[in-house]
Amino acid sequence: MNSVPHEYILPAAFILDLIIGDPDFLPHPIRYMGSAIAYLEPRFRKLPAGQAAAGCFFALFLIFFTWCIGFLIVAAGRAIHPIFGFLIETILLYYCLSVKSLKDAAMSVYNALRHPDLEKAKQRVGLIVGRDVNPLDKEGITRATVETVAENLVDGVLSPLFFAALGGAPLALAYKMINTLDSMVGYKNDTYIHFGKTSAKIDDFFNFIPARIAVPIIAISAQLFSGKGVQAFRTAIQDGRCHTSPNAGYPEAAFSGALEVTLGGPNVYHGKLVAKPSIGKHFGKTNAEHIKKACSLMIVSSLMGLLLFWFIRALIF
């Protein structure tokens, strides 16, 4: 066989992520993206165009440059040999997925709570959330972890698969640069309110469709997982907009209905209390077992998303 059908790239990358995850000893493109952002930010800030315009040029340059690098690497691999090109694109897409690493990070919080070791649980949840963890009690830690699993199902799995289905690994890599830009400069504080505005808006735009596709995916998965599919879908429709983010509320609300827990609510960020609305207010509080259930729901939803986007890629290519 001299070639491998391109539609097999998605399942191959997905399986690779499930097996390997994100070991520290492997180089990771996302780390290079973070380094590029940190290196270029002060240089773009010096442009004589105002901070908003400089931030716009900064974001567009990095996103387009990332796509170009991905395109050239894949094209070079295919020029050497079709199978080599397949392997290269599979590896690049694998780096864009985070099913195993998300599960491992959430379960490390679960294991700390089960011992119980509240301080260790705070340290571990602090690695995956942006809120201040010191004020959190056990319920706050579990709620933060479940919310992160729900939100990162989109950012770390469904969105990369969606864009890979549309444009292969280069577009998935460009999306990861968008997501990394938002996580590093997309803040509404004094430092980034102007410079990071474009990065935040682009991230909102690119996650708009995947976040809404996530709702039926999570609902179907919840029906298979626990028979709570209708409740997950209904809660997402009712409370999906109850979030400061235009996208994060939809997967969180679907998880809220599927697990029958209240999510959202006020949290402290950088020393300031942010009054976020609650999601699924009529449900109960989270506990450590809900982290385990959230991880299982995330994995089932990831598999459902893979099947959907694999089908879409097969139609396109």
**Tens digits of per-residue pLDDT, 22-34?**
887 888 899 999 9
Give a yes or no: residue 97 inside a domain.
yes
The tokens describing 106, both together, are 């959430």
Residue 1 lies in a domain: no
Dihedral angle of Cα 275, 279, 283, 289, to the nearest 10 degrees: -90
Residues of the chain falling short of pLDDT 50:
1
Q: Which residues pair with 269 in a beta bridge?
A: 272
Looking at residue 151, what is its pLDDT?
Answer: 96
260 within domain boundaries? yes
Judge whether 230 and 80 are in contact, CB under 8 Å.
no
Residue 256 included in any domain: yes
Q: How many domains does the chain have?
A: 1
Contact, 86 vs 79, CB < 8 A?
no
Q: Quick check: 63 and 178 in contact, CB under 8 A?
A: yes
Distance CA 254, CA 238 (A): 10
* Residue 19 domain flag: yes
Residue type present at position 115: H
Quickly count: other Cβ atoms within 10 Å of residue 170's Cβ. 23
- Compute the distance between CA of residue 257 and CA of residue 230 in angstroms, rounded to an integer: 8
In a domain, 56, yes or no: yes
Q: Is residue 287 part of a domain?
A: yes
pLDDT, residue 3, reads 56
Tell whether 122 is covered by a domain. yes
Give the pLDDT of residue 4. 59
Q: In sequence order, which ranges of 82-196 are alpha helices (DSSP H)?
A: 82-96, 99-114, 118-125, 138-153, 159-185
* CA–CA dist 116, 114 (Å, integer): 5
CA–CA gap between residue 289 and residue 287 (Å, rounded): 6
Q: How far apart are the C-alpha atoms of 259 and 186, rounded to whole Å?
A: 30
Residue 189 sits at φ, ψ, to 5 deg, of -110, 180
Domain that holds residue 233: 6-316
Report CA-CA distances (Å) from 252 to 23, 66, 136, 171.
27, 29, 19, 25
Of the candidates 157, 162, 128, 122, the one whose C-alpha atom is nearest the C-alpha of residue 141 is: 122
Residues 6+ away with beta carbon under 8 Å from 143: 261, 262, 263, 265, 285, 286
Question: How buried is 141 (Cβ within 10 angstroms: 0-12 exposed, 13-18 middle, 19+ buried)?
Answer: buried
* Both tokens assigned to 18: 């499930």
pTM: predicted TM-score of the whole model, two decimal places: 0.94
Q: HSE (CB half, 13 Å, CA atoms) of 172?
A: 29
